[in-house]
């Protein structure tokens, strides 16, 4: 309850145009965009997964992507950090701008450091301890220290605290990551993701494998993270989208049907498809 | 167990229980049949070979025909050297081929390599010996440990490749993605995450390959050939346990027969020890978590 109050307070600050698709480009507004896609389409073989998606995501907001199964939510999310590179049959068209820079100018590895990802199922590295999992991004990328000279131990502690796991694991940092519960593993994965200091965090149904209490903990994190990160979250739980997000995008059959402020989306959607979906008539 | 519930049909329950017991019994019998030969071989070799086992067996060279005593020291060391050469050659190539097939399986080349590896694993070991004879022994004009090790190495490649590929494919795709999403490059992901996660299984495969190579006689007969004396140079013929066992076993002398049994015992023991040591050394405290 408290959260929703806070959300409504912030809405004025966000200054979201009612019609997002309107493409009047003022430099000031542009600089607030963390992610922008222009005519983004993804094909698997000949099958089109998402088609001509134009979306702007502002800095320090939480954007939820909803839609029925197979509508391309995950496909869209995974194109933002070029995860489709691993799928040889996937082809991408259109442009993706991260902080107004086209991602074709990025090295994929650097892009993924900026655009972190949390997956549907908790996937800590099974061969590593809790500590090593959080440190894995830094260690595997070869830097013994972060840019500001913090030691790995400090970084691990800091990020475990951010992800709300520190109190639960501080006495057993060397224990295997898989000894944690599912919800703890997911928060560990979040700690691991933020340890590499991304600017944008993509979350692909991060709570769908979790129990309600773990879910609320993760949602709380998402809410708190807004200060530091831009978050895009795919969810098939509409209540979750309503709880955590500032803006919501509704995808259907690979197309972006509606994109607006979350509250408006759930109370007064413009498109009848959106209305049918959020009221549970299909999906 | 309460069978009083009216929901359970007692006749069906009895039938199910009988079927269950019969199947369980069959599985137990099969398991026993599996371990009997192994235990029998172990006891029989121990029993027959133990009388010839003494310090001399491990420290002395073979005696000339007619003289009792002597040992197989050169063959024991020779076997280690030959398997060592084979391992140094076969294991890295096998593992790297396995990585290629598993991680780059979409390419046509990888499919082709996989097919060839499968064929290679079915080639009789004596043919591989002939191959080594053709490419190393003939140009060098003599038998050599190098040729023997080469043959053993080739023999190891398909086993190691296959197991590496299978084990890497068991690593969930989500771990690769997790690592890549952290901005870790693909080769580091493969090496530090995928290979590491699969390592317990790969080690088992490598041990299997070593054990098989250590016991191979056929490919050594006309590559490493055998030697009655100490040989430290790998470009000369070298004795090996399987060949020595073979030569002694087909001889007409009782003393040599005993020594052959002792050799067989030592060979089993060596394979067992190598197995144990590698497992202890590479033991990962998180293994088994995959």
* Tens-place pLDDT, residues B92-150: 999 999 999 998 877 889 899 999 999 999 999 999 999 999 999 999 999 999 999 99
Residue A86: predicted pLDDT: 81
**Nearest chain A alpha carbon to B103:** A86
The Cα–Cα gap between B145 and A82 comes to 51
> Which run of H or E residues covers position B245?
helix B241-249
Side by side, which strands form the sheet with A247-252? Answer: A115-118, A200-204, A230-234, A62-66, A247-252, A255-261
In the predicted structure, residue B155 carries a pLDDT above the cut 80: yes
Spell out which residues of chain B touch residue A121, defining contact as CB-CB under 8 Å: 174
In the predicted structure, residue A79 carries a pLDDT above the cut 50: yes
- In this structure, are residues B129 and B219 in contact, taking their beta carbons and an 8 Å threshold? yes
Spell out which residues of chain A touch residue B182, defining contact as CB-CB under 8 Å: 112-113, 116, 136-137, 140-141, 192-193, 196
Average confidence (pLDDT) over A22-30: 50
Interface touch A196/B188, C-beta < 8 Å = no
- In this structure, are residues A134 and A160 in contact, taking their beta carbons and an 8 Å threshold? yes
Q: Does B196 touch chain A (CB under 8 A)?
A: yes
Mutate to test the interface with A, among B110, B180, B182 (most CBs of A within 10 A): B182
In the predicted structure, residue B12 carries a pLDDT above the cut 70: yes
Q: Does B174 touch chain A (CB under 8 A)?
A: yes
Express as a percent the part of chain A with pLDDT over 70: 87
Q: What is the pLDDT of residues B34-61, one digit of tens each?
A: 999 989 988 888 888 888 888 888 888 8
In the predicted structure, residue A131 carries a pLDDT above the cut 90: yes
Biggest CA pair distance of chain A? 54
> Which residues, at least 6 apart from B138, have a Cβ–Cβ distance to it below 8 Å?
none
Q: Which range among A257-271, B108-122, B264-278 shows the weakest confidence by mean pLDDT?
A: B264-278
- In this structure, are residues A111 and A199 in contact, taking their beta carbons and an 8 Å threshold? no
Spell out which residues of chain B touch residue A128, defining contact as CB-CB under 8 Å: 286
What ipTM score was computed for the predicted complex, to two decimals? 0.84
Alpha helices in B10-72 (DSSP H): 10-49, 55-59
Interface touch B178/A176, C-beta < 8 Å = no
Residue A199: predicted pLDDT: 93
**Nearest chain B alpha carbon to A122:** B174
Q: What are the tokens at B197?
A: 């996660």
Residue A27: predicted pLDDT: 52
Interface touch A137/B183, C-beta < 8 Å = yes
């Amino acid at each position: 309850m408290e959260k929703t109050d806070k959300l409504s307070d912030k809405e004025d600050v966000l200054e979201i145009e009612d019609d997002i698709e309107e493409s009047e480009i003022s430099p000031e507004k542009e600089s607030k965009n963390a992610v922008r896609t222009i005519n983004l389409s993804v094909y698997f073989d000949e099958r089109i997964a998402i088609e001509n998606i134009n979306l702007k995501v502002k800095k320090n907001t939480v954007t939820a992507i909803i839609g029925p199964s197979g509508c391309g939510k995950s496909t869209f999310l995974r194109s933002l950090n070029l995860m489709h590179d691993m799928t040889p049959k996937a082809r991408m068209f259109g442009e993706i701008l991260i902080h107004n820079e086209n991602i074709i100018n990025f090295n994929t590895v650097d892009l993924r450091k900026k655009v972190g990802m949390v997956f549907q199922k908790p996937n800590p590295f099974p061969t590593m301890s809790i500590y090593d999992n959080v440190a894995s991004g830094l260690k595997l990328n070869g830097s013994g220290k972060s840019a500001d000279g913090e030691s790995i131990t400090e970084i691990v502690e800091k990020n475990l605290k951010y992800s709300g796991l520190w109190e639960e694991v501080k006495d057993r940092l060397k224990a295997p990551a898989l000894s944690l519960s599912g919800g703890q593993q997911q928060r560990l994965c979040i700690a691991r993701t933020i340890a590499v200091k991304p600017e944008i965090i993509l979350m692909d149904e991060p709570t769908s494998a979790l129990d309600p209490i773990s879910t609320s903990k993760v949602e709380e994190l998402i809410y708190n993270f807004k200060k530091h990160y831009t978050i895009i979250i795919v969810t098939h739980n509409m209540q979750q989208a309503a709880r955590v997000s500032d803006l919501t995008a509704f995808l259907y059959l690979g197309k972006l049907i509606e994109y607006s402020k979350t509250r408006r989306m759930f109370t007064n959607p413009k498109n009848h498809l959106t209305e049918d979906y959020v009221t549970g008539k299909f999906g | 167990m309460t069978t009083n519930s009216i929901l359970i049909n007692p006749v069906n329950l009895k039938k199910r229980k009988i079927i269950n017991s019969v199947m369980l019994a069959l599985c137990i019998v099969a398991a026993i049949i599996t371990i009997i030969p192994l235990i029998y071989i172990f006891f029989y070799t121990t029993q027959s070979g133990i009388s010839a086992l003494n310090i001399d067996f491990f420290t002395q060279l073979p005696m000339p025909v007619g003289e009792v005593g002597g040992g197989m020291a050169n063959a024991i060391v020779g076997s280690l050297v030959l398997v060592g050469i084979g391992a140094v050659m076969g294991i890295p190539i096998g593992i790297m081929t396995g990585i290629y097939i598993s991680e780059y399986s979409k390419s046509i080349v990888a499919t082709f390599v996989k097919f060839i590896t499968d064929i290679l694993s079915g080639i009789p070991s004596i043919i591989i010996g002939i191959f080594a004879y053709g490419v190393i022994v003939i140009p060098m004009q003599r038998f050599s440990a190098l040729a023997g090790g080469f043959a053993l190495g080739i023999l190891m490649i398909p086993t190691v490749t296959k197991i590496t590929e299978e084990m890497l494919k068991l690593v969930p795709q989500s771990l690769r993605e997790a690592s890549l999403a952290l901005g870790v490059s693909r080769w580091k992901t493969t090496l530090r995450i995928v290979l590491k996660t699969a390592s317990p299984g790969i080690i088992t495969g490598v041990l299997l390959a070593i054990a098989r190579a250590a016991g191979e006689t056929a490919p050594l007969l006309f590559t490493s050939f055998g030697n009655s004396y100490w040989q430290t140079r790998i470009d000369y013929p070298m004795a090996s346990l399987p060949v020595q066992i073979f030569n002694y076993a087909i001889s007409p002398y009782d003393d040599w027969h005993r020594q052959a049994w002792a050799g067989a015992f030592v060979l089993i023991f060596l394979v067992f020890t190598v197995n144990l040591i590698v497992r202890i050394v590479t033991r990962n405290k998180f293994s088994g978590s995959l």
